[in-house]
Amino acid sequence: MSSPLTERASEPLDGGIPHGDPATAWARRKLNYQLVSPLNRRKFRVIVVGTGLAGAGCAAALGELGYSVVVYTFHDAARRAHSVAAQGGINAARAKKVDNDSLERFVKDTVKGGDFRGREADCFRLGEESVRVIDHMDAIGAPFAREYGGELRTRSFGGVQVSRTYYTRGQTGQQLQVAASRALQRQVGAGSVDLRTHREMLDLIVKDGRAQGVVCRNLYTGEIEAETAHAVVLCTGGYGNVYFRSTLAHNSNVTAAWRAHKRGAYFASPSFIQFHPTALPVSSHWQSKTTLMSESLRNDGRIWVPARAGDDRPPHEIPEGERDYYLERKYPAYGNLSPRDISSRAAREQIEAGHGVGPLKNSVYLDFRDALDRLGKPTIKERYGNLFAMYFDATGEDPYTQPMRIAPGAHFAMGGLWSDYDMMTSVPGLFVGGEAGWGYHGANRLGANSLLSACVDGWFTLPFSVPNFLASHLGAEALSLDDAAVRTTVDDVTARTGRLLSIGGTRGADSFHRRLGDILYTGCGVSRTVSGLETALAEIRSLRSEFWSDLRVPGTGRQLNQELERAGRVADYLEMAELMCLDALDRDESCGAHFREDHQTEGGEAQRDDENWAFVSAWEHVPGTAEHPGKPVRHTEPLSFEAVPLQTRNYT
């Protein structure tokens, strides 16, 4: 039954998962894929948007195979993509440690960690290909840490009890991105990849129900450019910056995915947002973002707060017996490596109960005192030296001599464009990879699975599934740039840009973005209530009306204009935020990072409703006006679990 705010589709979505054992689904699917012969591959053009680990890997792999690839990035170089920021490590089910790890245990941890709101078959593919990812990235130059005898070294991450995370000190994302960018540049040099920098995708060209190109803005000149292709792949990252203060780089945004959504691509689980428990706390109102301290620090750091509420003594003056190591107390089996959603909620509970520390009483301690005594400063410096240096630069405090202060911060988007098992969206010919998609993570991502999922998508999934789609279009020419569908899409982008420039209000886009972030942190943050979400929804709609009547964008669209860039992105965030709140209101349960206070156990844990909500919500856009959107339609993809039976998450 529909609500006053949304509609419901009657037929369930088909995720295209091969029938049978989910453990062998990927092998069977690949065997049945259509192939494109080497002599025909150069006849196909593929557009890849984004050059992070998913985009760079996909473009490099397709280029190596012989396809003609056009790659867009709004950065000045491919290696600047935001994958560099995921520093802690990358998981793999290689089971090199003698700690009883296995592919099956990897899948169990991932499915359970996502609170049974992701596809089981996807998790098997993630684990199966993880072995190839580590070997591949090692081969192309990622300098993984090694044991004395030469074996690759691992460490643990949240939500698991084994050591399966491969790392390069605290620089894993950066080093993997450098290696992937080199592979991409090799194909640029070979002529199979055309890399176009300083371009931001602003729309998707759709004709005959199929994605056939993109429209971009040259961020230097302001020129609107169109390009057509036989298939489009979006690898444009997540949308955590909708909260304004997040751990993401300030330029990370939702625009490419959102514009594709408005052209027909369903958006899955938009309210599933992860709050990272190991971010630096906000220290003043003028901050534009938060800073992420890697989850790897929780291997050796112990998290605690003063046992007495309101205790404002310096940490070194609080004796051991007056400290509450609350994660170790509440979740003894996992302790400080409890999953991110649980750890973030636990920190928020302590802060709101008056146990917060720091000048604003909005953080908890992450203390390395015991690890330094046990292992010595050289070992800790070897493992986390750059992270400690980054903390000192950001705060002026030395974590070797006093505890770090951390707090939950908006981080990773488990939601994204819905795609089937082949990673194709509801728009034929439009594929999605990395954080821009919804796959693998369910309602909560386990640490060190983000770099893995991006690499699996880019190197070992899309290069198989995209050719399967292309094989059916052999002999078809890419759409002409003079086609009416291309001209209409360019005109739409030009008109939207003109409208943003012509409002002539009094406030810049950042002021609206900051207010939106405050609304979302309060109403659709670490925990949610029905009344809070309804209030947030009303405030977002009011703010959206203000935006379209009082926005000020100086300059023109025919030049470098970063205020215009921000305005377009904030306009999309205002629409996105509304769908997030609608999705959170609609999902009448708690699961993973979606914590509804009206659905919790006696112990304060998330309470799922598997009988009524074991499905993925995939939202269809319904056009409205800029200020007043139409009622979105919810499609559902039922989820089933064979290898990992439905169970209550228990980390005690």
Among 609, 617, 618, residue whose Cα is nearest residue 646 = 609
Find the Cα–Cα–Cα–Cα dihedral 462, 463, 469, 472, rounded to 10°: 180
Among 162, 98, 103, 152, residue whose Cα is nearest residue 130 = 103
Mean pLDDT within 637-652: 94
Q: Taking 60 as the threshold, does the pLDDT of residue 153 lie above it?
A: yes
Mean pLDDT within 592-619: 96
Which of 340, 348, 566, 649 is labelled catalytic?
340
Q: Is 483 helix (H, G, I), strand (E, B) or coil?
A: coil
Lowest mean pLDDT across 40-49, 262-271, 539-548, 624-633: 624-633
Mean pLDDT within 298-312: 96
Q: State the chain's mean pLDDT as an integer.
A: 96
Among 411, 414, 409, residue whose Cα is nearest residue 445 = 414
Ranges of H-type helices in 353-449: 369-375, 377-395
Lowest mean pLDDT across 72-81, 87-96, 342-351, 504-513: 87-96
Q: CA–CA separation, 15 vs 324, rounded Å?
A: 46
Q: Are 167 and 146 in contact (CB under 8 A)?
A: no
> What pLDDT band is residue 287 in, cutting at 50, 70 and 90?
confident
Q: Taking 80 as the threshold, does the pLDDT of residue 27 lie above it?
A: yes
For residue 479, what are its two tokens? 């759409």
Q: Does an H or E element contain 134, and which?
A: helix 120-139
For residue 247, what are its two tokens? 């751990």
Q: Are 429 and 230 in contact (CB under 8 A)?
A: yes
Sign for the CA dihedral angle at 369, 372, 377, 379 comes to negative
Can you spell out the DSSP letters for 441-482? -TTSPPTT-HHHHHHHHHHHTHHHHHHHHHGGGTTPPPPPTT
Annotated active-site residue 340? The verdict is: yes
Q: Taking 70 as the threshold, does the pLDDT of residue 173 lie above it?
A: yes
The pLDDT, as a whole number, for residue 599 is: 97
Which residues are paired to 367 by β-bridges? 302
Sign for the CA dihedral angle at 33, 416, 175, 369 comes to negative
The pLDDT, as a whole number, for residue 627 is: 67
For residue 111, what are its two tokens? 């499915």
The pLDDT, as a whole number, for residue 35 is: 98
Alpha-carbon distances of 353 from 8, 281, 305, 386, 410, rounded to whole Å: 40, 17, 11, 33, 21
Which residues does 528 contact at the CB level (< 8 Å), separation at least 6?
271, 584, 594, 595, 596, 597
Amino acid at 112: K
pLDDT in tens, 197-250: 999 999 999 999 999 999 999 999 999 999 999 999 999 999 999 999 999 999
Can you spell out the DSSP letters for 289-315? ---BPPGGGGGT-EEEEESSTT--S-G
Q: Taking 50 as the threshold, does the pLDDT of residue 313 lie above it?
A: yes
Q: E strands, 209-311, where?
A: 210-218, 224-228, 231-234, 267-268, 273-279, 302-306
Angle among Cα 325, 114, 634 to the nearest 5 degrees reads 130
Mean pLDDT within 134-156: 94
Q: Does an H or E element contain 47, and which?
A: strand 45-49
DSSP state for residue 351 in the 8-state scheme: I
The pLDDT, as a whole number, for residue 139 is: 96
> What pLDDT band is residue 1 in, cutting at 50, 70 and 90?
very low
pLDDT in tens, 495-509: 999 999 999 999 999
Please give the span between the terminal C-alpha atoms of the chain, in angstroms, as a whole number: 38
User: Percent of the chain, pLDDT > 70?
Assistant: 99
For residue 189, what are its two tokens? 């040099």
Amino acid at 402: Q
Q: CA–CA separation, 236 vs 218, rounded Å?
A: 17
- Within 13 A of 421's CA, how many CA atoms are on the CB side? 22
Q: Are 509 and 551 in contact (CB under 8 A)?
A: yes
> What pLDDT band is residue 320 in, cutting at 50, 70 and 90?
very high
pLDDT in tens, 2-12: 567 899 999 99
